[in-house]
Amino acid sequence: MTPVKGLRLHDVDEAQLGVDGIAGDRAFFLAGEDGQMVSGTRLGPLVAVVAEHDPGAGTLSLRFPDDHVVSGEVELGPAEQVGFFGLALDARPVAGAFSEALSEHCGRALRLFAADPRRPGVDRGRDGAATLLGTGSMEALRDAAAVDDPVDARRFRMTFGIDGLAAHEEDGWIGHEVRVGEALLRVEGNVGRCAFTTRNADTGVVDFMTLHVLKGYRDAVPTTEPLPFGVHARVLEPGTVRVGDPAQPS
């Protein structure tokens, strides 16, 4: 998870999964001068920034690669209309030095917004409140790429990684319910991949030809989205999910 969409991911041992996703995940997002949402797909340097958000205290901090930290209280301005995955949403800009610091880091004007509570910050809305990817699929990708080192799963920015599955076994869960920890999910479709997955999960530099590899061995697979790798799901029953909890399809 990450409090700011597009920034470095955090691994957590336990999370509260609700109908809009993990609590606190992608609570903020960035928009460019054109008023459209911006992610790491277009701006790789975002991935090198680590965000920490304390909703209870109402604070946010951003740590940059040089260990410079910008932090402060989250103060919101009046709502503005912002483009978000083709939707026009009312979102409130975050005051303070956050936008300026991120703009300087990326070399272009950016503004930080709090996500509209009526639309979760995950890519597919509530149909993508959780995403799942088996470690067997990661091994299949490594074999297809003919590389020695494991592929970093963080480049796919999934909610849950699942051990013990055969390669792409999770594809067979589409249309079925899956119990993950205390939460019950319904798997809605494949996660089609974009250029974000080509970027290093720490630096944002393009260092792996993910889309080329997927096209080479997954292009003819029946799918709900092009270049499938992992699946997305709707949360039917919220609950706590911990590392080591089983994922049990019905």
Quick one: which H or E segment has residue 8? none
- 1 lies in a domain? no
Last residue of a domain, one of 67, 96, 121: 121
Whether residues 144 and 105 fall in one domain: no
Domain boundary residue among 96, 121, 146? 121
- Residue 35 and residue 65 share a domain: yes
Q: What is the CA radius of gyration of the chain?
A: 18
| Average pLDDT of the residues of the chain | 95
In a domain, 248, yes or no: no
In a domain, 133, yes or no: yes
Please check whether residues 146 and 231 belong to one and the same domain. yes
Distances (CA, A) of 113 to 26, 45, 164, 229, 238: 11, 18, 39, 29, 26
**Contact (Cβ atoms closer than 8 angstroms) between residue 218 and residue 211:** no
CA angle 79, 72, 74 (to 5 degrees): 25
Q: Which pTM value belongs to this model?
A: 0.92
Better-scored residue on pLDDT, 122 or 71: 71
Helix (H) or strand (E) holding 19: none
Residue 186's DSSP bridge partners are: 177, 234
Residue 177 has pLDDT above 80, yes or no: yes
Boundary of a domain, candidates 87, 106, 121 = 121
Q: Could you tell me the residue range of the domain that residue 50 belongs to?
A: 14-121
Phi then psi for 196, rounded to 5 degrees? Answer: -55, -35
Q: Which helix (H) or strand (E) holds 63?
A: strand 59-63
* SS3 (DSSP) at 41: coil
What pLDDT, in 10s, does the model give residues 182-233?
Answer: 999 999 999 999 999 999 999 999 999 999 999 999 999 999 999 999 999 9
- Indicate whether 140 and 232 sit together in one domain: yes
Residue 121 pLDDT > 70: no
Q: What is the domain-level CATH number for residue 230?
A: 2.40.33.20
For residues 47 and 73, state if they share a domain: yes
Number of domains in the chain: 2
Rounded-to-integer distance, Cα 88 and Cα 124, Å = 15
Dump pLDDT digits (tens) for 150-161.
Answer: 999 999 999 999
